[in-house]
Amino acid sequence: MDLAAVVRRFELDQLYADYVHCLDADELERWPDFFTEDCFYRITSAENYEAGLPLGLIYATSRNMLKDRISALRQANIYEPQRYRHLVSSIKIVGEVAEILDLVANFLVVRIMQDGEMTIFGAGCYVDQVRRDGDSWKFARRIVVLDSRQIDTLLAIPI
Amino acid sequence: MDLAAVVRRFELDQLYADYVHCLDADELERWPDFFTEDCFYRITSAENYEAGLPLGLIYATSRNMLKDRISALRQANIYEPQRYRHLVSSIKIVGEVAEILDLVANFLVVRIMQDGEMTIFGAGCYVDQVRRDGDSWKFARRIVVLDSRQIDTLLAIPI
Amino acid sequence: MDLAAVVRRFELDQLYADYVHCLDADELERWPDFFTEDCFYRITSAENYEAGLPLGLIYATSRNMLKDRISALRQANIYEPQRYRHLVSSIKIVGEVAEILDLVANFLVVRIMQDGEMTIFGAGCYVDQVRRDGDSWKFARRIVVLDSRQIDTLLAIPI
């Protein structure tokens, strides 16, 4: 492993950290910018994912669809009273072709209600593909695989 | 990004890891050493933080005040029967002037009671400023922003 | 810190990430490969660990014993309906002699039941020793110190 590989690893760490802080600060308008224009984004359950089922709580095949998603969320305004906090660990490169990388990472999302109640909202694994974009990286694919098959569908927020 | 930047990033990772292990091992006497002499330390809620309110569960403007805090905790001895476990992720440099860095990071604190019950004690975001101190780094400012506005004030332990 | 030290740190991060994904993907058959042949693996409570008691929920002194453990688990098949998700943070090198390193790290394990219920299964600290093995690293010792003294002994899965 040379310096270039180490630097790349840092850039990827940064990408994952930026993404999390964007969501937790409720800066959802800049969330689509983490993705390529022709990205694939999906939230699904481990059960569906392993069975190869294409279903998903959120399913988008372009950055524009992600923008629409955020517009809809802002209008519906149903998720305001909660906060979310993401913890991400164990980022791992599992494949690499040219400047296209496959990665996995674990996440835990804690939901904090207005009365102070804290619960585990979701846990699972990101199954990602990233592509270089200038001096940073973007998600060409992010599949959010939730360990739980029960998802509160009213709260279809990005993860 | 050159080798110096990579090394610095490692030093910062190490600072955050050391801090966490200090707290979780209940080695609170060395906790003030993570701070500069003229440090600012505060635990507050996201609500207060965003409203710009100066209130806080713990509020200190020097390392000596942190030492006093630990002395008081040891005398009160009310928090002994519990254990705490910190998880930290998504450390991100958000600003930099000379050898002074602004950082944010997410945390989750699990509380473990004597009977084995485990609950999420707190989740939130560190809003930090660090300064170089010889070959390591110290916190010149650490604001612990808790997502929940309900804090168990009897348990004003460092986070 | 030179490039070699930085690269080593990455290799260790990778070891911890690989380990976690192995467990969470239920690829337990390759779990023993993370250890040296003469490894020491133990799951215990913080209470027992601090008291110097040799007891443990799982106790193994070789890689072969770890393999036997997995065979037994697969035959018993009692843990199938659950999923586990590990979060690891604050990996810290605490000692170093030649190519033998002592490390600690924090972990949190979330258990996801079939009905979707998510609970904190365990939290604690890894107390590890790793040795270089070719171009990677293996655990010569991994002590899983659980903060809770109550452990569901029916579910003696690797952590």
In DSSP notation, A92-105 reads EEEEEETTEEEEEE
Q: Which residue of B has its CA nearest to A88?
A: B89
Residuewise pLDDT in 10s, chain C (159 residues) = 788 888 999 999 999 999 999 999 999 999 999 999 999 999 999 988 999 887 778 889 999 999 999 998 888 766 557 889 999 999 999 999 988 999 999 999 999 988 888 989 999 999 999 999 988 899 999 999 999 876 665 567 899
Sign for the pseudo-dihedral over CA of A149, A152, A154, A158: negative
More confident residue, A50 or B57: A50
Tell me the nearest-neighbour CA distance from A120 into chain C, angstroms.
Answer: 7
Q: Which of these, A36, A10, A19, A23, lies nearest to A100 by C-alpha position?
A: A36
Task: Give the pLDDT confidence score for residue C107 in this predicted structure.
Answer: 98
Chain-chain contact of A147 with C118 (C-beta, under 8 angstroms): yes
Largest CA distance in chain C: 50
Q: Which residue of C has its CA nearest to A149?
A: C116
Q: Is C105 on the interface with A (CB under 8 A)?
A: no
* Calpha distance C65→C39 (Å, rounded): 9
Chain-chain contact of C6 with B3 (C-beta, under 8 angstroms): yes
Give the SS3 label for residue C52.
Answer: coil
* Calpha distance B50→B63 (Å, rounded): 25
Task: Determine the Cα angle at A10 with ends C100 and C90, to 5°.
Answer: 50
Q: Is C91 on the interface with B (CB under 8 A)?
A: yes
Chain-chain contact of A106 with C116 (C-beta, under 8 angstroms): no
* Calpha distance A94→A91 (Å, rounded): 10
Alpha-carbon distances of B87 from A1, B16, B53, B96, B120, rounded to whole Å: 28, 10, 27, 25, 11
Q: Which of these, A47, A33, A39, lies nearest to A128 by C-alpha position?
A: A39
Q: Which of chain B's residues have a Cβ under 8 Å away from the Cβ of C6?
A: 3, 6-7, 10
Kindly provide the b/e burial profile for residues B9-26, where b requires at least 16 CB atoms within 10 angstroms of the residue's own CB: bbebbbbbbbbbbbbbee
pLDDT at B56 > cutoff 90: no
Chain-chain contact of A115 with B150 (C-beta, under 8 angstroms): yes
Tell me the nearest-neighbour CA distance from B44 into chain C, angstroms.
Answer: 23
Answer whether A81's CB lies under 8 Å from A116's CB: no
Q: Which residue of C has its CA nearest to B11?
A: C1
Q: Which of chain B's residues have a Cβ under 8 Å away from the Cβ of A136?
A: none
Residue-wise pLDDT tens digits, A8-23: 999 999 999 999 999 9
Residue-wise pLDDT tens digits, A59-105: 899 999 999 999 988 887 665 578 899 999 999 999 999 889 999 99
Task: Give the pLDDT confidence score for residue B77 in this predicted structure.
Answer: 63
Answer whether C95's CB lies under 8 Å from C110's CB: no
Query: Which residues are CB-contacts of B132 (< 8 A; sequence separation ≥ 6)?
Result: B99
Q: Which of these, B48, B112, B102, lies nearest to C46 by C-alpha position?
A: B112
Phi and psi at B40, nearest 5°, equal -125, 120
Chains with 3 or more CB pairs under 8 A to chain B: A, C
pLDDT at A24 > cutoff 90: yes
Chains with 3 or more CB pairs under 8 A to chain C: A, B
Sign for the pseudo-dihedral over CA of C30, C35, C36, C39: negative
Q: Which of chain A's residues have a Cβ under 8 Å away from the Cβ of C114?
A: 149
More confident residue, A38 or A77: A38
- The tokens for A38 are 């022709």
Chain-chain contact of B1 with A18 (C-beta, under 8 angstroms): no
- The tokens for A82 are 């909660």
Residue-wise pLDDT tens digits, B66-116: 999 999 888 876 655 788 999 999 999 999 998 899 999 999 999 998 888
B43 forms bridges with which residues in the sheet? B58, B144
pTM for this structure? 0.95
Q: Is A20 on the interface with C (CB under 8 A)?
A: no
Nearest to B148 among A14, A21, A118 (CB): A118
Phi and psi at B35, nearest 5°, equal -115, 155
* Calpha distance A89→A83 (Å, rounded): 20
Q: Which of chain A's residues have a Cβ under 8 Å away from the Cβ of B3?
A: 3
